[in-house]
Structure 1
Amino acid sequence: MAHPGTLVLILAAAVLAPLLVHFTGRRVRVPLVIFEIALGILIGPHVLGWAYPDEVVDTLADLGLSMLIFLAGYEIEFAAVRGDTLRRSLWAWPLSLALGIGLGFLVSGSDVFEAFVVGTALTSTALGTVLPMLRDRGELKGRFGTVVSAFGAVGEFGPVVAMALLLSGRRPAESAVLLAAFGVVTAAAVFWALRPRPPWFGELTERTLHSSGQFAVRFVMLLLACMLGLAEVFGLDVLLGAFAAGVLTRLVLHQAAPTAGEEVLGKVEAMGFGFLVPLFYVVTGIEFDLDALLGDPVTLLLVPAFLLLYLLVRGGPVYLLAPKDLSRTDRAALALFASTCLPLVVAITTIGVDQGILGTERAASLVGAAMISVLVLPLLAMRLRSARGGRAGRDEPRPRGAADDTEAW
C-alpha cells in the first residue's frame, strides 16, 4: 500500500535539487544527481522517516532508470563513434571486466557469483550523467566529447550485456543464445529504422509537434515500450532494451524527421529529466541503506577502497587505450569521466541483493563509492580540461599519423 505523501515529497525533492545547485554553484559545482540522492536519503526511512518506497514509486523509479539509459543510447552518434576510437573502447571494457572480476574474487573471499556482481559493477560508466555535463560545457560535439561518448557507450552497454549473461539466473550458454536472438531482432529493427519513412510520417510529425496529437513523442514512447517488452520476453534485463530503443529512436528521427528530430528529443528529455529520471535518483536515496553503511566500520572503509577500484578497474584500461592523439591531460580526464558511475551500480547491486548473491553492506559500500564518483570525478576531469584550455582545446588538430576515426569499422 502506498505511503501517503511519498510521491509529493519525492517531487518536492526533485524541485528543490536544481535550486540547491543554483545557489551553491557560485562556490562549488555539485552535480544535480548528488542533491537528488542526498535529499532522498534525508527524507527516507533512515533519517527523517517521511518517505517510504512502495509499489507505485518503485515502478516509476524503474521507468526513470529505463529513460536514463534510453537517453544515453540516443546520445550515441555512430557516424562519429567508429574506427580506431571504437576499437580501443571495445578492447578497454573486456580488460576492465577481467580485472574487475579478478579483484572481485579478492573482495568476496573467492565467492564466484559475488565476484561477478562486484566485478561487473566496477566496469560501468554513467554515460547518462557524464554527457549532459559535456553538453552544458559545449564539448559534446568536439573530438574529446566523441571519445568520451565512445568509451562511455561501451562502459554502459557492456555491463548491461554482462548482467544479461551472468546475473540472469540461467546458465551462461542459455543466456548467450537468448542474447544472440535479441541481437538478431534488434539488428532487424535497425535495418527497418534505416529504411526511408513514408512522407506522411515526417508531415504528421511536423503537424502535431505543437498540438495535442504529439505523434512523434507517442511513437518514441511506443518504441521504448516495445524494446523493453522484447528484452523481457527474451528474459534479459530491460536496460538492454532501453539502450537499444535509444539507438533506434535516433536512427528513425534523423531519417524521417531531420528538422524536427531535436525538438522531439527535447520533449522526451523534458519528460525524462523533468519527471522520471529525478524520481529514480531520489528513490535511490530513499532506498539507500544508510544504517548498513554507517553501522559497520569495515563497510564504511570499503567506500574509499571501492572508489579507488573504480579508478583502477575502469579508468586504468581507458587511460592505457585512449586514442593516441589525446594529450596526457585529456587521457586522464577521459579516465576520470569513464570511472564515473552510479545508475548501473545501483541496478547491478539491486539484482545482486535480490538474488541473495550480495549483502546489503557490500551493496551500500559500492553505491556509496559510486555516489562519490559522481560528485568528485567529473569535477576533477573538468578542472583538468579547463587547465589546458578546455573548450578551446577540444578541436585541436590531430598529430600527424594519428588514427582517423572516419575509417571503416
Structure 2
Amino acid sequence: MAYDNLFIVLAVAAGVPFLLALLPRARLPGPVLEIVAGVVLGPAVLDLVQPDATVEALSIIGLSFLLFLAGLEIDVRRWQGPLARFVAAGLAGTVALAVLVGWVLDLGGLAESPLLVGIALVATSLGLLVPILKDADAVDRPVGQLIIGGASAGEFTAVALLSLFFSEHASGPGVRLLLLLGLVCLTGLVVVTSMRAGRSRWLSRTVLKLADTSAQIRIRLTMLLIVGLSAVAMHLGFEAILGAFIAGAVLRMVDPDAEQTHPRFHVKLEGLGYGFLVPVFFVTSGIEFDLGTLFADAGTVLRVPMFLAALLLVRGLPVLAYRRAGLSRAELVAAGLLQATSLPLIVAATTIGLKLDAIRPENAAALVAAGLLSVIVFPLLALPLLNRPRGSASAGSDEKQA
C-alpha cells in the first residue's frame, strides 16, 4: 500500500469545506468541487495524483457507502396513500421516457447501448438532495416528501436495473431476474429476523449499553449488514452497490425511528460516510475523469447539453404527475429540477459500461459532464422556487383543481 495519493485525495476532501465557507454565495454542492479538484490534480491536467490500488479500493467502498446512505433515506412509511400513487405515476413516466430517449439516441447513432443510457438517466442523486431539502426546510413539506419519494424510486430502479442487465458477474437476464427475486426473499428474511431479534430485552439492553462505548456496536452491526449484503449480491452475480443500497433500506425498516430514539447513531454513520469514504469516491471520480476525450472533438462537447436536456426530460417532466398533490407551479418546477439532479449513478453506470464495452469513452465523458452540470445548475435554480411564498388560498385551490 502507498499513502501519497491517498493523502492528496484526503487533503482535497478536507479543503473543500473551507473553500465553500470562504465563498458562501457560490452555493455549490461539495461533491462538485471535489470532482473538479480531482480533475485538476489528476492525470488530465496537473498529474499530481494517480488513482492507485489504495485509492481505487476506498473509492469503491465510498460509492457503496454513498448508496447505503441513500437507501437509509428511504422510509417506506411515507410510501402510503396518495403519495405512493403520485410517486408510482412519476416513476412510470420516467421509465417510459428513458426508453424513448434511449431508442432515439440509438437511432441517431449516439448510443451503443440505449438500455444503459436509459438506466443512467432514471436515477436521481438522493444522497445529494436530502441535505439540500433539509437546508431549505422542505423535507417535511409535501413537495419535499414527493421529491424524496420520487428520488428514492428512481434511485432504487436504476440500481436494480443496472445490476440486472449490466453486471460483470452474471449470465443471462432470465437467470439474473430469478437471482434478484432470491435476493429480495433473502432481504425479507433479514428484515424479519432482525425485527424479532430486536424484541429480545437482553439484546436490546446490551446494544444500548455498548452503543456509545469503544465497542460502537451499532456501527459494527451496520458494517456487517452492508458488507454481508454486498457480498451476497456479488455472489448472486450483481454489483455490490445493489447490496449496499438494500442494506440502507433494510436498516431504515428495522430501525425506523433511530433519529429520534438514538440520534447519535445516524450522526456517526454520516460522519464515517461524508467525512471519509464518500469524498474519496468523488475526488477519485474526478481523477479518473477522461477530460481529454471530452474535448477531443466538438461533437463530444455538444453531447453534454444533449444529455443534460435528456436528464431534464426523463426525470423532470414526470413531476406533472404531482399536480394533484396540491403543489404550486413553483414547487412543481423545483421538483422537476431537483429530480433531474443526478451524478453518482451516472458515474457508476458509465464505469461499468466502459468495462463491458457497452458505452464509448466519449459518451461516458459527456454523460458524467452532464451529471456534473445537473448537480451545479439544477439545485441553484430550484432553491429560490422552493422558498418562494405560495400564492393566495384561491390560487392554491386552483392549483389543486388543475
Is the TM value for this pair above 0.5?
yes
Deviation at 1:29, TM superposition (A): 0.8
Query: Quick check: 1:101–1:118 contact (8 Å CA) kept in 2?
Result: no
Question: What is the total number of aligned residue pairs between the two structures?
Answer: 395
85-94 vs 340-349, which moves further: 85-94
- Residues 8-407 of structure 1: pairs in structure 2 closer than 5 A: 8-25=7-24, 27-109=25-107, 114-168=113-167, 170-195=171-196, 196-254=198-256, 260-388=261-389
Q: What amino acid maps onto 2:63 in structure 1?
A: L
CA shift at 1:402, angstroms? 7.1
Q: How far apart are the structure 2 equivalents of 1:224 and 1:79?
A: 22
C-alpha displacement at 1:258, in angstroms?
A: 7.3
User: Aligned AA for 2:386?
Assistant: R
CA 1:160–1:113: 2 relative to 1, 3 Å: farther
Tell me the distance in 2 between the aligned counterparts of 1:110 and 1:171: 27
Q: Which amino acid aligns with 2:255?
A: L
Q: Secondary structure at the match of 2:211?
A: coil
- Specify whether residues 90 and 361 from structure 1 end up closer, same or farther in structure 2 by C-alpha distance, changes over 3 A only: same
Distance 2:19 2:92 in 1: 39
Distance 2:116 2:323 in 1: 26
Superposed CA offset, 1:173-213 (max 9, x none) = 12211111111111222223333431233323332333211
Unaligned runs of 5+ in 2: none
Q: Distance in 1 between matches of 2:163 and 2:323?
A: 27
Contact 1:316 1:335 in 2 (8 A): yes
Instruction: Provide, for residues 15-67 of structure 1, a one-character-per-residue CA deviation record: whole Å limited to 9, x for no partner.
Output: 11111111111x32111111111111111001110111122211111111111
Matched letter for residue 241 of structure 2: L
Amino acid at match of 1:183: V
**Cα displacement (A) at 1:321:** 4.5
Q: Identity rate of aligned residues, in percent?
A: 35
- TM-score normalised to structure 1 length: 0.90
Q: Which runs of 4+ in 1 moved over 4 A?
A: 109-113, 257-260, 398-403
Shift of 1:401: 12
Superposition deviation, residue 298 in structure 1: 0.6
Cα distance in 2 for residues equivalent to 1:323 and 1:369:
31
| Distance in 2 between residues matched to 1:157 and 1:20, nearest whole Å | 33
Cα distance in 2, alignment partners of residues 133 and 267 from structure 1? 20
- 8 Å contact kept, 1:204–1:215: no
Amino acid at match of 1:325: G
Give unpaired runs (5+ residues) of structure 1. 404-409
**1:138 Cα deviation (Å)?**
2.6
> Counterpart of 1:407?
none
